[in-house]
Structure 1
Amino acid sequence: MLCCRSFVLACLVLAACSGISPSLDFSGVQTEFEQVFRSDHLYTGRISPAPAGYQRVIRSLSTADINRLDETQRPVAWMMRAVAEWRTGSLVKATASSASGLSASPRPHSREQVLLTMIPALVTDSHIVSAWKTAGMAYTPEQYAPVESAYLGAMKSLDAAQAVTDSTTPSDARNLLAYHQWRILFNWETIIDTLSGGSTVADQVIRKLRPRFDGHDLLDMADAARQSVPAGDPLRVIMDAEMGSHL
Structure 2
Amino acid sequence: MTLLLTLDDGSVQRALTDAVELAREAAVAEAGAEQVGAHEGVYREDAVSATHLFEAAVPGYRGWCWSVTVAAAGPELPVTVSEVVLTPGREALVAPKWVPWERRVRPGDLGVGDIFPTEDDDPRLVPAYLQSDDPAVEEVALEAGLGRVHVLSRYGRQEAATRWRGGEFGPRSDMARSAPESCGTCGFYLSLAGSMRAAFGVCGNEISPADGRVVNVEYGCGAHSEIHVETTSSVPVAELVYDDSQLDMEPVREPADS
Q: TM-score range by the shorter chain?
A: under 0.3
Higher relative contact order (CA 8 A, sep 6+): 1
**TM-score (normalizing by structure 1):** 0.21
Rg bigger for which structure? 2
- Of Structure 1 and Structure 2, which has the larger fraction of its residues in strand? 2
**TM-score (normalizing by structure 2):** 0.20
